[in-house]
Amino acid sequence: MDYSQRFRVNPNSRVRLKHIDPNFTGGHENHSTAKKEIAQYQEKLWTLQDQLYSERQRSVLICLQALDTGGKDGTINHVLGAMNPQGCRVAPFRQPSPEEAAHDFLWRAHRAAPARGEVVIFNRSHYEDVLVVRVHDLVPKKVWKGRYELINDFEKLLVEHGTVVLKFYLHISKDEQLRRFRDRLDDPAKRWKISEADYKEREFWKDYTSAYEEALSRCSTESAPWFVIPANHKWFRNLAVARIVVEHLEALRMKYPKPTVDIEHIRREYHQARRE
């Protein structure tokens, strides 16, 4: 199965999240049957990211969006954690700081975008400015409606300058979200993540669904696609994201750069040093 095609939002298509099964597991019965494949793709991620870093010709931007408990942190830890931190960083998008709010809405996104040779993961992203601001009526409709085209232009600019842009919506059900909230209550290591706003936001589930559907529909382009990942099963979410990232990195046909020194000369010096 080609995961890049299976979960990709085709340009100009209309997304209906209710028609996408968040429990889908791609033929795997459970985590145990997928463990080997997950490990293989994690290993591939390490090698490909190492080539990207050494080549220093292109960069990768990965945007992760989801409703609360959708698995953004888990995806970073279990999949993208396979990459070398030397060439990989995470940029969180929380409520804008006073400095960020004093600029245009894309300023903080562009400032955090990856340099050549770098992988950057946006934990939430510039899409918050057509999601939460829409649901909570933080800016006029005329303002957020005009942002879709600006977002597409911004991502096109990144692509034209050598950045691979991959955007993942981690799709969970409302029941699964509630179960994960309960797990946070029961697990002392996760209780710090709990806030009263988590449950309050559930009242806006339909509004967020509509906002996501429009963003996914209007901003999935040939050069910067959206992927809707079934995420009720964390292990399948990890597998699907890893496979798609690997598929796109392999398509770059990267190679390690040629050495800038005389290898044979250095080898002779090495053997001479051993004899001495």
- Range of 231's domain? 3-275
Closest alpha carbon to 65 in 221, 195, 213, 206: 213
- pTM of the predicted model, to two decimals? 0.93
Contacts of 101 (CB under 8 A, 6+ apart): none
User: In Å, what is the CA distance from 98 to each residue of 103, 108, 142, 259?
Assistant: 9, 12, 23, 46
* pLDDT (tens digit per residue) in 103-144: 999 999 999 999 999 999 999 999 999 999 999 999 999 999
241: closest CA among 158, 170, 164? 170
C-alpha distances (whole Å) from 50 to each of 44, 82, 183 are 10, 11, 36
Say how many domains are in the chain: 1
DSSP readout, 123-135?
ES-GGGGGTHHHH
Reference 207, options 101, 124, 115, 136; nearest CA is: 136
Which CATH number do you get for residue 250? 3.40.50.300
Three-state DSSP state, 248: helix
Per-residue pLDDT of the chain (276 residues; tens, 9 = 90+): 789 999 999 999 999 999 999 999 988 989 999 999 999 999 999 999 999 999 999 999 999 999 999 999 999 998 888 898 889 999 999 999 999 999 999 999 999 999 999 999 999 999 999 999 999 999 999 999 999 999 999 999 999 999 999 999 999 999 999 999 988 888 887 777 777 777 788 999 999 999 999 999 999 999 999 999 999 999 999 999 999 999 999 999 999 988 877 777 778 776 777 776
User: Rounded to whole angstroms, what are the CA distances from 28 to 5, 117, 228, 238?
Assistant: 18, 34, 18, 13
Q: What is the pLDDT of residues 261-273, one digit of tens each?
A: 777 777 877 677 7
Asked if 58 and 253 count as a contact pair (C-beta separation under 8 A), the reply is: no
Give residue 187's pLDDT. 80
Neighbours of 256 (CB within 10 A): 9
